[in-house]
Each structure stands twice: as structure tokens, then as C-alpha cells.
Structure 1
Amino acid sequence: MSDSAVIGTELAQGKFTDDMLSAMRALIGTELRTDACVNNEYATRLAIMRFCEGIGDDNPLWTNAEYAKDGPFGTLVAPPSFIFACLGSVQVGWPGLGGFHAETKMTFNEPIRVGEKITAKVTFDGFDGPIADSSFGGRRIKDYLRQEYRNEEGELKATFICSRMRFERGEMQKRRESRAIEVPHPWKDEEIAEIEAQILAERPRGTEPRYWDDVQVGDEIDVITKGPLGLTDFIAFIAAGAAPIPRVAAHAVSLKRYHKHPKWAFRDPRTHALEPVYSVHYNDYAAQLQGAQIAYDVGIQRTCWQIHSLTNWIGDTGRLLGLTGQYRAHVYLGDVVRLGGRVDAKEVDEQGRHIVRLTTWATNQRSQQVMPGTAVVALPKRPAA
């Protein structure tokens, strides 16, 4: 029997076992291989521009060299989310189990400047569970990958704690109908026109400083809107270099990988082509095998939108220092997501930075909170008169 015969039309159906849990405990603290998941080593002008196009962020601080040379860094810099275009994440263990990105925690130091080489170190920090049962998908665990991004001088640019929920796909599929909703959403022409007008009116704050002194507790940040999400929006994210675990490939390159790792793929019964597990983000059939309704977004894609909303609000002279986000529901093809936030507190930290703490959110057209989160930003203080 050839290797291809073991790749069926279903995603792999693994089970939690004592041996699996013991093997994963033994991996805690292991630095993981990243070669197959690196998308960009250098923050070139084109790599940054392609990434910004893939997340829909046209801030000239990232994309216009003439504009950026007069900015606070004297050159083009990448948006904080660009680390995902260097390495989104990696896969570790849990053979045959399904996975959803559950939570993100990030901290940021100096921005990535055009031309810098960025290297990621990824460490498996362990897992919680398994929880005996959950209404969402039966037994599950939550694991943690710590990803640290440094330049050639060893300066830490950002840290990303990636937490995933792992589950038995069969149990998730059993509960799919209980989560059924109408997808894609039945938009009316006048609703689409209003949404597109809102998107076209969005602007980054740019060169006008947002002073810490002027921000008040309870203020809300400017809203940005993503959607209605189309297949090209999801594919653009892949083309931007942000597809994780591992790189998406074609023809003989992918076929050799799937023969070596049959659980990485399934055979689409309509096209008869082999598709990666990652195709849940653009293939309805794959998404349904994962227990979803149709194709859905990537967790870090949603975080890129969160970062877009924050950097638009703080302006060129503000700095994003950290954020959190929890992925509470699928964001499907056809959905619209609006991202915003509210100022919760102001302070001066130990380093003398003028800090603003925010609660952030992302809501869809069903009024679901699909990504509750937090953020910490530093803003300039108004100069003395």
C-alpha cells in the first residue's frame, strides 16, 4: 500500500491518551525547530509592504519611505504585528488532535526597522488540562508556546505567548450543529454601502501627536472595520507571509511533506487534491471537519487587526508596549468585525513613560465579542508651555 493511501478525506482523528500526555510533559522546556515555518528573515521594504497589504493597514509610517524618513525613527519601520510575517508559529506534538488558537499575549520593545534580520526562538512552555469535558468540544487542553524575536545584535524586539486549545476532532464535529448559524451572513446592499463608507473614512492619526495629558479615562479609541471578509482577504494574509505551521506549499514540495507526515493533510473529495490542515482558513469542507461552519480567520490575523486599531489611534509618536487577546468565536467568511477599545487607566511607570491602559474588543455583526483583550501604550507628554 502506498503512503498516499493513508491520507483520506477526513482530518486525522487523534485521542487523548496517557502516553500522549506523558510524551508532551517530557517536551516542556524544549526549544522547537522553526526552519519550515520561517517566512521572512529580513524586514525588507517589500516584505513590510506585502504584509501591510495582507492585513489592510496602509499607515504611511510602514509603507511610505519619504513619509517615514521625517518620522520619529528616521526610516521605515514595520508595524508591531510584522513579527508574524517572520514566523507566525510552529506545530508541536498532539498527533491527530484538532487545534484552535485560544489566546495571545504580546510585549513589544524597539520597533523593527527596515533591513533588520529577525530570528525567532520558540519554546514549549507546557499545557493545562485536559479538562474533563466542555460544551464546546469535549475534552481539551490549552498549551503554551513562547516565541521571542531578536535582531542580529540579539536585541529582543517582541515576545509572543501563543496558547492553543487542543481537542478531539470527533467530539468537536458532534457539537457542530449545536453552534449552527446562518453563514455567510445575508447582507443587504445598503448595509454593505454603509460598511464600505466607514472603512474608506478610516485614517491613522499620523504626525499629530496624541498627548497623554489629553487622554481621559473612559475615552474610546477610533473604530476600524474589517469585512465583509472575502476569500481574498484570507488568501492575502497567506500571501503576506503570515501563514503559520508550516509554510503553505504546492505540487511536489507539498506532496513530499504529506507523504512524510500524512496527518498534516487530507484529500478533498471534490477536487481529489491533497490539502493541508491549515486550509480550514479557506476551505469550507476542511473547516467543517474541524467542527466549524465554513472557513474562518486565523487567530493572529485578528490580532493584526487589533494592532492596526491601536497604532491608528496612538499616532506616529505613540508606542504599543503590550496586548492580550482571547479568541472567543469563529470569524467566518462574510462576517464583519469592528475593533475598538476604551481607556481604563493612566500612569507614569518606573521608566518614566506615560502609560495608558486599555480594554479592547472586536465584535461581529451578530453582536458577539469575538476577541476581548487589553493593551498598554506609551504616549508623549505635552511639552511645557
Structure 2
Amino acid sequence: MNGAITDHALARLRARIGVTQPHPQPPWYRDPGTDAFRHVAEACGDDNSLWCDPTYGPTTRWGGPIAPPHLNGGDTMIGENEVTHLDSDTKALLKGDPLKGAHAYYAGSFREWWAPLRPHTSVTRRNALVGVHDKRSDFADRTVHEWTAEVFGAPDHMLSAQFRLMIRTDRKTVEDKGDRGKNFGVEIEPYTEEQIADIADAVAEAAMRRRGPTPRYWEDVEEGDELPPLVKGPLRITDIVVWHTGVGMGLYGVKSLNLAHQQRARIPGFFRRDDLNIPDVHQRVHWDPEWARRAGSPATYDYGRMRESWLIHLCTDWMGDDAWLWKLDCEFRRFNYVGDTHWVRGRVARRYLADGDRPAVDLEIWGENQRSETTCPGHATVLLPSKEHGPVRLPEPPGGATTCAATLDALVQRFAQMEAAP
């Protein structure tokens, strides 16, 4: 039955685990240098000198400029495909969607960073399905958690990984059934002059609180500490435009003019007609209010990745330039509409020694809008310098892997263990 999640369909999907397939677009930055570092950071509203001033990096423990975490492992931003051609058997294995017709939604992201990205590093990547987790609720609804990994490596070491969680379900969830109606009940109220002034003051205060070159020592942190909040917004279509200038045009690589005609010939399903009968990309829902309304949204809205970058910004401002952001995950639970303002917050949940006696803290992080709705809850793990244990020691990739292929193999094993866990 089309759209049904069956044992046979799951077996077909699981047969793809660990099978590398090329990314459909070249990276936005083939040779990322300090300009790319700055463009990406500023697209996220982050002007930390560690990413934006190439003369500052040499004064830090890193000895030179490094990329912001959002760029280091950004899914469409860096990395040339290690695997560029597939044999006929692999093409047949990867053809079509075994769960075609089942509902799918982008539920969350998980990131890991193992080493800094330095200017003009030759980056390669591999992409593969790494986990298929069969879930059943008390009401016998069957859902599948479909995990895809993208790993990024330098010539002699691994840099980072990014995981995307897609939730597939036979039966539309309660949110799915009701979201369209609920969305149209959302009203974005105009701001008063006083509200705009208050937001501007909060933004200025946050910039003053950035830790920067002052180390935040592990011993000085206590569980329950609150992170100084960041304010992001009110979100404008202009912010979405600037976002694209830094991070690129996404998975399909939106093209212009004659290149757009060529793209439409390749992927006609990515296009629909506008009011002038001109074919345009579905992605237009992010900057055209009428297209957003036709899609069931009361207004244009951001990408989940934007708020992920805001959570990264929260962590790096708090931890200081001597620390290392090791892991970060977040869920995308609600839309962030043009006109919304987000307060990005966090607290220290745990302080401990991680693998190899590395001083670490776990953070609870989230973004909430002016309607007091939490739209993007998440977690992060930060390695901090220590008065007793010394400077941060970078974490190791899974299994100590040094190649993209070995890292993907280790991640497949990790996700298999996750599924087997009670």
C-alpha cells in the first residue's frame, strides 16, 4: 500500500545503511578562506573576531583564523564528494524511496566537531543513511526515525559530522493534523517603538557580555548557571536574504536566469507557477508571503538551520575563544515567522570529566519567541579550559577514525547500538 510503513519497506531502506551517495550540489565554498568564515558568521548575526578578523586568530590558542562551527560541517557549504560515481547495482539500490507516500518531516539536527577548519583546507565529504529506527507508540502508530550522516575530513584528520533526523509516519501526527489551522491562528503583532528600543538594548548588552579572549575555566562553572541570552529579531525577509548570501541556496542550489531554466529541466517538481505564470522554486515560501499562505502558513518563515546557528552563537559567546564546542543537537518544533523575535537561552545542566578526563559541561539550550513558545529546544556539550587539567584537548572522532569512510562505518555502528538499546 502506498504510504504504508511495512517490514518489507523497512528492509529495503535498511539495505541502504552505510551506502555512500554523492551530494547533488557542489559546495557553496570549494576553497573556504577567511572571507567565507566572515560571510557565514555575519549571515548568522555573529561578529566574533575569532571568525571575522583574520588578525585576531593568531593571538589565540588556535594560532590562526578558524571557521565558525556552522560552516565547519555545514551540509551544503563545504566538502567535495569523495564518491562521485555509482555502479549500476548501487544506483538500483538507491533508486526511489522505499517509504514513498509516508509522511516525512525534518525533526532535528545533531552536530559534532572534532577539529577546527582552517583557511583553504581541502575538505572532502561522504553522505549516507546511518540509522533506521522502527518506533511504535502505545496507540500502535508506526513511525521511523531516519538518520542521515554527512562527515567532513581534511587530508589527514576528520573535522566534523552532521546528522539529519527525518521522522516518517503512516498516520499524520496530531501536530500534522492541526498545524495548518493553528498556524492561521497565529498573528504577528506590530511592534511599538518601545519594544524595538528594548530589543536593540538587549542586543547591545549581549554583545558586551561575549566572553571572547577571557577564558571561562571549568572550575568556575556551576550546574544551574544561566547563559546570558541572545536576542535574534525581529526576523525580516532581509535577514533571510542575508542568510542565503552566507550559507548558500540549500540542497537544490537555487539558480538564476538561464541556469534556472536548466535546473527546471532537471528537476521540474521543484518548481510551480507564480501569478504571472512564471515557474519559480517552491523555496519561495521563505520570502513570499502569498506563497507561504498557499502552503498553509500565515507568513513567511525561516529555515530550521537559522535557529541552529543561533544556538551555536549562544554557546560560543558564552564559552569563550579558548573553549571548544563539541556537540550540539536541536529539534525544530515550531515555525519562526517573519516578524518573530527569539530569545536564545541556556543553562548548565552538568559539569563533569568527559572521555580522557576532558573537562566538559552539558548545556540545555533553547529559543523562545515573543509568544513564549519554545520553538527549538536542544543540548550542547562544551569542552572548557581548566586550572587543574590545562587547555582544552580536542575530542576524537568515533573509534578514532581518520578517514571519512571509517568515520561513516563507526557512525553506522553507533546508530545500530542506539536502536538496540532498551
TM-score by length of 1: 0.84
Q: Which runs of 5+ in 1 are unaligned?
A: 1-14
Is the 2:3–2:100 contact (alpha carbons within 8 Å) kept by the matching residues of 1? no
Per the alignment, residue 358 of structure 2 pairs with: 353
Distance 2:298 2:167 in 1: 18
Quick one: which of 177, 180, 205 aligns to 1:176? 180
Summarize the Cα distance change of 1:63–1:69 in structure 2 as closer, same or farther, 3 Å threshold.
same
Distance 1:97 1:285 in 2: 27
SS of equivalent to 2:108: strand
Quick one: which of 238, 243, 248 aligns to 2:244? 238
How far does the alpha carbon of each residue in 1:297-353 deviate from its partner, in whole angstroms, 9 at most, with x for none? 111211111000100000011111101111110011110111111111111223221
Matched, 1:76 2:48: no
Distance 2:292 2:73 in 1: 22
TM-score by length of 2: 0.77
Per the alignment, residue 44 of structure 1 pairs with: 33
Quick one: which of 149, 154, 157 aligns to 1:151? 154
**Residue 51 (structure 1) shift:** 0.8
Letter of the aligned partner of 1:144 in structure 2? W
Is the 1:51–1:85 contact (alpha carbons within 8 Å) kept by the matching residues of 2? no
Is the 1:37–1:244 contact (alpha carbons within 8 Å) kept by the matching residues of 2? no
Quick one: which of 187, 193, 197 aligns to 2:201? 197
Summarize the Cα distance change of 1:131–1:330 in structure 2 as closer, same or farther, 3 Å threshold.
farther
Per the alignment, residue 3 of structure 2 pairs with: 16
Per the alignment, residue 12 of structure 1 pairs with: none
Matched, 1:102 2:107: yes
Letter of the aligned partner of 1:105 in structure 2? F
Distance 2:168 2:293 in 1: 16
**Residue 264 (structure 1) shift:** 1.4
Distance 1:235 1:96 in 2: 32
**Residue 21 (structure 1) shift:** 4.4
How far does the alpha carbon of each residue in 1:256-311 deviate from its partner, in whole angstroms, 9 at most, with x for none? 2222222112112x243322233332233443444333221111211111000100
Per the alignment, residue 164 of structure 2 pairs with: 162
Quick one: which of 257, 263, 288 aligns to 1:257? 263
Q: Work out the percentage of aligned pairs sharing the same amino acid.
A: 25
Is the 1:225–1:338 contact (alpha carbons within 8 Å) kept by the matching residues of 2? yes
Letter of the aligned partner of 2:57 in structure 1? A
Letter of the aligned partner of 1:156 in structure 2? M
Distance 2:288 2:102 in 1: 19
How far does the alpha carbon of each residue in 1:214-254 deviate from its partner, in whole angstroms, 9 at most, with x for none? 11111011111110000011111111134321212112212
Summarize the Cα distance change of 1:96–1:250 in structure 2 as closer, same or farther, 3 Å threshold.
farther
Is the 1:120–1:150 contact (alpha carbons within 8 Å) kept by the matching residues of 2? yes
Letter of the aligned partner of 2:20 in structure 1? E
Q: Number of residue pairs matched?
A: 365
**More off after superposition, 226-235 vs 283-292:** 283-292
How do 1:1-385 and structure 2 match up within 5 A? 16=3, 21=9, 24-83=13-72, 85=74, 87=76, 93=97, 100-128=105-133, 142-153=145-156, 155-165=157-167, 175-203=179-207, 204-268=210-274, 270-382=275-387
**Residue 211 (structure 1) shift:** 0.8
Distance 1:179 1:283 in 2: 16
Q: Which runs of 5+ in 2 are unaligned?
A: 82-93, 390-422
Per the alignment, residue 9 of structure 1 pairs with: none
- Which of 1 and 2 has higher RCO (CA within 8 Å, sep 6+)? 1
Distance 1:140 1:288 in 2: 28
Letter of the aligned partner of 2:45 in structure 1? G
Letter of the aligned partner of 1:373 in structure 2? G
Distance 1:131 1:58 in 2: 45
